Chain A
């Protein structure tokens, strides 16, 4: 399952040009983070991945299906899209109904629904909450229910909009663990995030956008340590990188492309010897 974006332009009905000649290929099983300032076009781009938006010009192919020719509902079987705010999604009276809603709507066979539900419920640790009302749950739990209601349809591509926004340390770690596992199952993961420390820690492929264009695309280590890209995307370097730059200012030999703590430690201890 791959996503191919070819010379994509998108202009909103209001006349705002949000994407300008974006080309991008996301391969099967990849894990990619799309970063950039607000208004850079990140959300507009990912909304093309499941056909919520259709290109003004150019094409988006999901596994060779052109999104222009396909409905969002059809795409939903292949592309799972998890939005920032679970409250925009949950509307049923129990967690169980909420999780079963998507596959039931698609008339999947009952046994399959039951089986898939049990799988996601175990995966996301929701067993004890099945009979509860989604509205009685905590924010973090609701986020998990929203995710479960998408995962239960077994999408091969998963898109997450700001999964760590407003989350505490433990929730963040759980999200990271979950993304890692889903990725290991062979799913393609694309996420939009501002959270540079999170990206520095888990190091997906990074696509940086500004003013509707992709200005950098590569390994986290390269993109996040590129001052020009960071400036244009209004991102601050990870703390560790900022420290490396500060040290390199005074000690020219010190490497500037450090983003993880363990790497920094090694480099510093080497400095000592």
Chain B
């Protein structure tokens, strides 16, 4: 099972400043940062935002997990790079620069979300959603789905083992055959998920689910003064960046692009042309 890109978003309990922030503060951070990232297509501003987020990973002490999980994204990064370099529209004079900025954009977004999911306990996320007026049933469904990810992963592995032991080869055959190969995994997984859902419902009802109109919580989220300070800082940064971007206008250096001689598309054309010439001779 290739789950490594997902490990970027797995919560790990740590005792850091960021872990102690209210999930709502972090949610606010994620939303505003994502909006900012999506305002720029130029390489320099995107890189600046990306670099600005990195120190937060050190504060949250998740830098190692982050680097490991990035490996899972290498394939995706390469695809983005090649598509943007070689299949960019003809009116784009700097495809390589554009490709790089798309990659840093992806990295910045992934890092922002990773920071959120690695530092916010899923139960707290559920709580935050309730606080933000989402009905409890929905937030419960989200945290429960999260709760059962490891259980289902374990179960999927057991099914794969059992079916392989019967001689099923998941990786064999052409594309269509491979899809069919997965039926012996998917059917038992689905059936056992349904059975589990039934048992879960029984267990919930046996613990007085839905007894009180107004449910209470063992832990109530509390915004600390620090949360408010952080929210004010995030807001100021956000407004300033937007102000620079849309009112003042970006300075010229922010529009920097790779010089034409480093343009991969040109180099690629040149190599291709050379090969064609060579073959004709």
Contacts and interface: CB of A to CB of B under 8 A. Distances in A.
A contacts B: CB pair < 8 Å: yes
Interface in B42-92: none
Interface in B157-171: 158-159, 161-169
Interface string A127-153: 000000001000000000000011001
Interface in B131-173: 155, 158-159, 161-169
Contacts, number: 62
Interface stretch (A28-36, A76-84, A224-232, A240-248): A76-84
Contacts of B183: 91
Given A85-B158, A91-B183, A72 B188 contact: no
Contacts of A50: 165
A44 B161 CA distance: 12
A256 B167 CA distance: 46
B195 interface: yes
Given A87-B192, A88-B188, A76 B155 contact: no
Main secondary structure of the interface of B (DSSP, over half): helix
B191 interface: yes
A105 B167 contact: yes
B239 interface: no
Interface in A41-66: 47, 50, 52
Given A88-B155, A89-B162, A135 B191 contact: yes
Interface string B179-190: 000011001100
A212 interface: no
A101 interface: yes
A91 B187 contact: yes
A72 B164 CA distance: 6
A52 B187 CA distance: 21
Interface string A15-28: 00000000000000
A135 B168 CA distance: 21
Contacts of A73: 164, 167-169
22 contacts: A47-B161, A52-B165, A72-B165, A72-B167, A73-B164, A73-B167, A76-B164, A76-B167, A83-B158, A83-B161, A87-B191, A88-B155, A88-B158, A88-B159, A88-B162, A91-B183, A102-B166, A105-B168, A135-B191, A149-B166, A150-B165, A150-B166
Interface of A: 47, 50, 52, 71-73, 76-77, 79-81, 83, 85, 87-91, 101-102, 105-106, 135, 149-150, 153
The 4 closest A-B pairs by CB, nearest first: A91-B187, A81-B165, A76-B167, A88-B162
Interface of B: 155, 158-159, 161-169, 183-184, 187-188, 191-192, 195
